[in-house]
Amino acid sequence: MQTIILHLTHYHTYPRTPKMNAHCERFNRTLQDEFIDFHKSDLLNPDIFNNKILKYLIWYNTKRVHYAFKNRLSPIQFIMSLQTNNLNLPQECKVGWTYTKTSINKDFMLK
């Protein structure tokens, strides 16, 4: 129901096919091994558990080094190390931008 309200498509994977969702499965395993196994008692109080896992996820993405980055960088450090000229992205393109006075009026009239 919430996916309809947010205009999202919900994709399902087939049962017993972890290869279809390998990255999520690996992340779930890491969460289980590094956090949940040590905080099982907190599951009785969801507010406490949610606060702790939120802190863990912030640490996971900002401080913890990851194997994908040769155990040298956290994901946020990796993103910050990228420079726009190294991304091989095209220069800003305004083709298709429709925020003109006439298009705003047309959008308003269609609604």
Residue 100 inside a domain? The answer is no
pLDDT for residue 104 = 44
Q: What is the pTM of this model?
A: 0.62
Domain hosting residue 61, numbered range? 2-89
Q: pLDDT value at position 21?
A: 85
Q: Is residue 104 part of a domain?
A: no
Q: Is 111 a member of any domain? A: no
Q: What is the 8-class DSSP label of residue 36?
A: G
Neighbour tally for 73: CB within 10 Å: 16
Quote the number of domains for the chain: 1
Least Cα distance to 62 among 51, 45, 78, 48 occurs for: 78
Q: Please state which of the ranges 10-14, 31-35, 61-65, 66-70 shows the lowest mean pLDDT.
A: 10-14
37-63 pLDDT tens trace = 999 999 999 999 999 999 999 999 999
Q: How far apart are CA 77 and CA 30, in angstroms?
A: 20
Residue 56 within any structural domain of the chain = yes
